[in-house]
Amino acid sequence: FAMASGTALIYDDEMTSCKLLWDDPECDIEVPERLLSSYEQLKHYHLVERCIHVPVREGTEEEIMLVHSSEYLEVVKSTQTMNEEELRRVSENYDAVYFHPNTYRCAKLAVGATLQLVDSVISGKVHNGMALVRPPGHHSQRNAANGFCVFNNVAIAAQYAKRRYGLQRILIVDWDVHHGQGIQYVFEEDPSVLYYSWHRYEHQQFWPLLRESDYDAVGQGKGKGFNLNVPWNKVGMGNSDYLAAFFHVLLPVAFEFVPELILVSSGYDSGIGDPEGQMNATPECFAHLTHFLMQLANGRVCAVLEGGYHLKSLSESVCMTVKTLLRDPLPQISGEMAPCLSAVESIQNVRAAHKPYWKCLMYEEATPLHNLSTKSQQMMEAELIQTSTHPTAKQAVGTTNSDEAIKTDRFLESHMKKILFPVPPVKTAAAIVSKADAHLLPISVQVEMEMNAQELKTLVSAFDAELVKEEKALLSLQNVLAVLDKILKKKVCNGIAESSVASVSTTFALKHCFDFGLQRVLCIVVGDMDLELDLDDGKILLMNICQKQQTEKTNSKYHISLNWKEDAGRNNFFCAVLGFILPVAYSYQPDLMIIVIGPNRSLGVNAISLLTCLLQGLAESRILVVIQDTEIKLVQSVAKALSGVSTPDFGAYAPASQENVFEIKQLKDQLQQEWKMLRCSVKDWI
Ligand code: X5A
Ligand code: ZN
């Protein structure tokens, strides 16, 4: 079974042919340049030529009527031949909408482009893709245009995928800064479509000013639990707030939901510099969000443009999304990794509201926070200023909007130069014991042959003169070193090495890393293994997922043990990885990761591979996996994960055991002062 490969890009400049013809300060940000500058920037980064171009088509009336009424369709159709006066009058019937004689044509192309993308992905012609469309869709409703949206492209696509392909579970992720109330209304009672949206809300003071955008709108009837709203009650949310919402809300639920297809309502008004959103997420944040979604639904991700009104921010973020869909390694995410109080409050509220519907939240304390006293809120705010600062909170007052926009332009110009890096031609290297097994690895993996014996001896003797005499250890080190060296010199991104003496090899590898000048190495040990390491200076963060209870050792900032019984591993995996390991790893911001797979593992092959996949957002994807025993199935699966040829399949979801959930909860409480991305409840703030 070969996985589909390739990324579709759908764009047609005909969709730039509609625009606002009169003065309207609310609508004048939705301009054709949004598409033009995004596409230009994609060309600039040579991303267009790496994608598979899929042509647009018009959505048919039948397809549009999967979501909209025929009466409404007729209204939109009638605008084609209207003069400006008539167009104005129709527009006034709706909230924040303008019509142009070409609007109907563009809106049909936007629907068709979205459906072309879904067809390409589901048929296996491509693996994933993005459609750059105008007008956007997520606010439009059965009988109404709304918020620049005419036809609900993504909602139509979900209905279409259900009808045409019989899909049973579709996830819609709406990372636009506005609530896609149009999508919520269509699927409120439908358990086959899980709708997730975060949005600027400010206690209902922000457009579209709806009560039903709050966290307690969980869906209705059979659809209860399948509508997830994360309302942001403050502006200035940034990378860490968005990631926290993914770790603590979307991802656990999504992994439990097991979607067959992911549609992204991909609006970038949630990005830095946007005049509507007033948020602070930098473009690489969208790379990380995209990367996490790619671990679900077999990687079948369809991103469809919604909002995004700061042209530079929009186009850089579009590029980061497409680059990630193409499976380039991700830039390190910038900024202090600590969600702000208001974000954590929203996250806690959604988690509490959804506790009845999701196993991953079943041990959650059911404490929504709506009646927090102003006093304690103020106290917590004071604390917030000490612990986490958001750029907008610090922004100078008295600057005009256009000053701000230009400032963001300049910031992004230098920021992108800082974070983008050349991608090594080969992603994954492997050094395996039995070279005869090389053909079992993905063809894109570069198999390492023997290292120069003298070079090796010199390296090893500098570390431990005794070791040079031990033939077996030497051979084992050779594998690890050959791969590590390639990673450090950026000839490959990541790699895998079999080693019969993993603990010695790992100690040696770490020493080598620091000699090379690395500052922080995240070391995850799966299985029972003793590593003699000095863990005081923070240059190593050691996490051990082991079966044997570690006597004496208590968990500390840089040494964390998760004790799991043999059979508990799989069920606890998501709870631990999403709620604990990833947040700690993102808080630590390593330069390199070493995953060591030892004996007596409490994680299976799929779990180890998925862990490897999920960690690839960190350290520019620099991961060394050291595998102690020669188990070709494991090596094969990890090699696939590292090189990105497939995402591991997990099958049915089982809830974590109460015992293990509590262990992780306790660890969270103990360590969230140090590793702030762990925060998903405000109780320790008070
Ligand atoms: C698609 C989108 C925003 C409408 C804002 C109206 N619409 N104030 O971002
Ligand atoms: Zn928007």
- Ligand 1 atom nearest to CA at 307: 9
Among the candidates 404, 419, 434, a domain finishes at 419
End-to-end CA gap in the chain: 53
Residues 402 and 494 in one domain: no
Q: Are residues 413 and 554 in the same domain?
A: no
Asked whether residue 120 carries a pLDDT value surpassing 50, the answer given is yes
Encode 658-673: b = buried (16+ Cβ within 10 Å), e = exposed.
eebbebbbebbebbbe
Strands 52-53 and 261-266: unpaired
Give the mutation target among 29, 97, 149, 314 for probing the ligand 1 site: most ligand atoms within 8 A of CB.
149
In a domain, 680, yes or no: no
Which tokens is 17 given?
Answer: 């042919």
Q: Is the pLDDT of residue 392 over 50?
A: no
- Say what the alpha-carbon torsion angle 624, 629, 631, 635 is, to the nearest 10 degrees: 0
C-alpha 648/C-alpha 170 separation (Å) is 19
Give me the mean pLDDT over the 617-629 stretch.
94
Kindly state whether residue 231 falls inside one of the protein's structural domains.
yes
Q: Are residues 95 and 213 in the same domain?
A: yes
405 and 549 co-located in one domain: no
Which pLDDT score, from 0 to 100, does residue 399 have? 57
In a domain, 387, yes or no: no
Question: Residue 331's closest CA among 311, 316, 342?
Answer: 316
Chain segment 263-296, per-residue pLDDT in tens? 999 999 999 999 999 999 999 999 999 999 999 9
Hey, what are 524's tokens?
A: 């995850």
Over residues 52-79, the mean pLDDT reads 98
Using the mean position of ligand 1's atoms as its centre, give its distance from the Cα of residue 539 in Å.
45
Domain count, the chain: 2
Sorted by sequence, the CB contacts under 8 Å of residue 347 that are 6+ apart come out as: 230, 244, 245, 248, 249, 339, 680
How many residues are recorded in the chain? 686
Q: Same domain for 398 and 530?
A: no
pLDDT of residue 453: 74
What is the per-residue pLDDT for 113?
Answer: 99
Assess whether pLDDT exceeds 70 at residue 303.
yes
Determine the distance from the C-alpha atom of residue 598 to the mean position of all C-alpha atoms in its chain, rounded to a whole number.
Answer: 29
Let me know if residue 216 belongs to a domain: yes
- Strand-pairing partners, residue 87, are none
Token reading at 455: 């070079």
Q: What is the pLDDT of residue 552?
A: 61
386 within domain boundaries = no
User: Which whole number is the average pLDDT over 598-613?
Assistant: 90
Mean pLDDT across the stretch 318-326?
Answer: 98
Q: Domain of residue 533: give its range.
A: 426-655
Are residues 403 and 503 located together in one domain of the fold?
no
Query: Of 68, 127, 138, 139, which is the active-site residue?
Result: 139
Say yes or no: 399 and 484 in one domain.
no
**Count of other CB atoms within 10 angstroms of residue 455:** 13
Q: How far is CA 600 from the centre of its chain?
A: 31
CATH number for the domain spanning 556: value is 3.40.800.20
Note the ipTM here.
1.00
Task: Average the pLDDT over each of 116-125, 210-219, 345-354, 503-512 and give the range with the smallest value.
Answer: 503-512
415 is catalytic: no
Asked if the model's pLDDT at residue 454 lies above 90, the reply is: no
Q: Do 410 and 513 belong together in one domain? A: no
Three-state SS at 556: strand
113-146 CB burial, b ≥16 within 10 A, e <16: bbbbbbbbbbeeebbbbbbbbbbbbbbbbeebbb
Q: Is residue 650 part of a domain?
A: yes
Of ligand 1's listed atoms, the one at least distance from the Cα of 308 is 9
In this structure, the answer to whether residues 330 and 431 fall within a common structural domain is no
Predicted pLDDT at 570:
54
- Alpha-carbon torsion angle 136, 130, 423, 34, nearest 10: -30
Collapsing DSSP to helix, strand or coil, 177 comes out as coil
Using CA positions, which residue lies closest to atom 7 of ligand 1? 147
Among the ranges given (192-196, 199-203, 211-215, 505-509), the one the predictor scored with the smallest mean pLDDT: 505-509
| pLDDT the model gives residue 573 | 82
User: Where does ligand 1 bind, in terms of residues with CB under 6 Å?
Assistant: 26, 96, 136, 139, 147-149, 176, 178, 207, 267, 269, 276, 306-307
Ligand 1: atom nearest CA of 306 is 1
User: Residues 447, 319: one domain?
Assistant: no
Band of pLDDT at residue 397, cut at 50, 70 and 90: very low
Write the CB contacts of 172 (distance below 8 Å, at least 6 apart in sequence).
154, 155, 158, 183, 187, 193, 194, 195, 196, 262, 263, 264, 265
d(CA 350, CA 197): 11
Overall average pLDDT of the 206-222 stretch: 98
148 alpha carbon to ligand 1 midpoint, in Å? 6
- Residue found by looking up tokens 């297809």 in the block: 261
Cβ distance 7 to 126 under 8 Å?
A: yes
Please identify, by atom number, the ligand 1 atom nearest to the C-alpha of residue 309.
Answer: 9
Q: How far is the CA of 307 from the centre of ligand 2 (A)?
A: 4
* Domain match, 460 and 412 both: no
Alpha carbon of 346 to ligand 2 centroid (Å): 19
Inside any domain, residue 678: no
Cβ of 396: how many Cβ atoms within 10 Å?
8
Q: Residue whose CA is closest, atom 3 of ligand 1?
A: 147
Q: Report the distance separating Cα 236 and Cα 255, nearest Å.
A: 28
Q: Which ligand is nearest to the CA of 207?
A: 1
Q: What is the pLDDT of residues 148-192, one digit of tens each?
A: 999 999 999 999 999 999 999 999 999 999 999 999 999 999 999
Q: Are residues 328 and 260 in the same domain?
A: yes
- Say if residue 329 is preceded by a cis peptide, omega within 30 of 0: no
Beta sheet of 492-498, edge-to-edge order: 446-447, 426-431, 492-498, 623-627, 592-597, 521-526, 540-546, 559-563
What's the angle, vertex CA 678, arms to CA 393 and CA 342, rounded to 5?
30
Query: With pLDDT > 90 as the criterion, what percentage of the chain qualifies?
Result: 74
Backbone angles phi and psi of 353, in degrees to 5: -65, -30
Q: Is residue 240 part of a domain?
A: yes
